[in-house]
Amino acid sequence: MRSVHVSDVLAVARALRAVPEAQRQGLCAEMIREAELADRYMRRLGKPHPHWGNGTLRDTARRRPMGDALCFDDPQSCRCMAAVMHGLGIRPRSAHL
C-alpha cells in the first residue's frame, strides 16, 4: 500500500461512517487489504486496479459510498477514525514497510 496520509484516514473513516458500526472493523480491514493489492497491481502493470484504484487507501475508500462529513465533536466520527487507526496499527509488521 502506498504511504498513508491524513486524507486517506479521513476517506476511509467516511466510508466506515456509511455502514453500521458492527460492520466497520471488517470493512476497514477489507479496504486496507484492497489498497495493498492495488498497489502491487499498480507497481507491476503501471496502471490502477479497475476495482481498487491506485494503491492508496483514499482511492480504495472513494470507490464506496461515503457517510456524512466527519466532525471531531461527533462520537460516531471519532469511532470511525479510531477504527481506521486501529486497523492500520494491527497490520503485519512487513506491511508497514
Q: Which residues contact 39 (CB under 8 A, 6 or more apart)?
A: 1, 2, 54, 55, 56
Mean pLDDT over 84-91 rounds to 88
Q: What mean pLDDT value characterizes the chain?
A: 92
Residue 93, pLDDT score: 56
Mean pLDDT over 22-49 rounds to 96
Q: How far apart are CA 70 and CA 78, in angstroms?
A: 8
Residue 1, pLDDT score: 86
C-alpha cell at 12: 476511509
Is the confidence at residue 91, as pLDDT, over 60? yes
Task: Label residue 36 by pLDDT band (50, 70, 90).
Answer: very high
Mean pLDDT over 63-69 rounds to 94
